[in-house]
Structure 1
Amino acid sequence: MPVGPQPHPDEGRTDIGRSRRHQSVEPVLIDTAEVATMLSMSTSWVYREASKLGLKGYKLGRGRNAKVLYKRAEVFKWLEQQKIY
C-alpha cells in the first residue's frame, strides 16, 4: 500500500503559534557591564555608586565569581529620574 507524504506537525498550527516561537524575550536582569555601557560609565563606577543611587543589585553566586545583576526596568527608571527638564 503506497504511503503519501505525511503532514508536518506544525501545519495545523496558526500563525500565532509560530510567532510565539520566534519572539525574543527581553531579559529582566542585566549585568554590571551592560549597566555601565548603558550609562556610559565604567563597571567600577557602577559597583561603587549603584547602591548610593538607589540601584539595587542582585548577587548570584558566591565568592569572587559572583555576578551582580540589576533589574533593567529599575535602571531605566533611575535614568528617567535624571532627566533635566
Structure 2
Amino acid sequence: MPTLEPQSPSDETRTDINSPGRRRSVEPVLLDTCEVATMLNMSTSWVYKEASKLGLKGYKLGRGRNAKVLYKRAELFKWLEQQKIH
C-alpha cells in the first residue's frame, strides 16, 4: 500500500530559518494536485473535477495552460477529518 505522505525534498533544501546551525525539515504549506491525488488515493482528474464540489478548495496560481492549482495542506487535512463517517 502506498504511503499517504508525499516525499519531501532533502534537508539541504528545506531548513528552519529560526535555528542557526541546525537543519530541520519544514513541511510544505501548499500541495499540488498530484500530491493531493496521491494522498487521497484518487486520480488527478478526480481532484480537478470533484474536490471543489465536495468542499475542498484549491488556489489557482498563474494563467492559462500553465496555471497550477494548489491546496493548503492544513485545509486538506481539515476537509479529510470532516469526511469521517463515525
TM-score, normalisation: structure 1: 0.74
Farther off after superposition, 47-56 or 30-39:
47-56
Q: In the alignment, residue 17 of structure 1 is paired with which amino acid?
A: P
Misfit runs of 4+, over 4 Å: none
Equivalent residue number for residue 72 of structure 1: 73
Q: CA deviation at 1:62?
A: 1.1
Percent of residue pairs identical:
82
* CA RMSD after TM alignment: 1.1
Q: How many residues align?
A: 68
Equivalent residue number for residue 3 of structure 2: none
Q: In the alignment, residue 31 of structure 1 is paired with which amino acid?
A: D
Give structure 2 stretches of 5+ with no counterpart.
1-18
Output one character per residue of 1:23-47: Cα deviation in whole Å (capped at 9) or x when no partner: 1111111000000000000000000
Give structure 1 stretches of 5+ with no counterpart.
1-15
**Cα distance in 1 for residues equivalent to 2:42 and 2:36:** 8
Correspondence 1:29 to 2:27: no
Q: CA deviation at 1:70?
A: 0.4
Who wins on radius of gyration, i.e. which is larger?
A: 1
Counterpart secondary structure, 1:70 = strand
**Cα distance in 1 for residues equivalent to 2:85 and 2:51:** 20
TM-score, normalisation: structure 2: 0.73
Higher helix share: 1
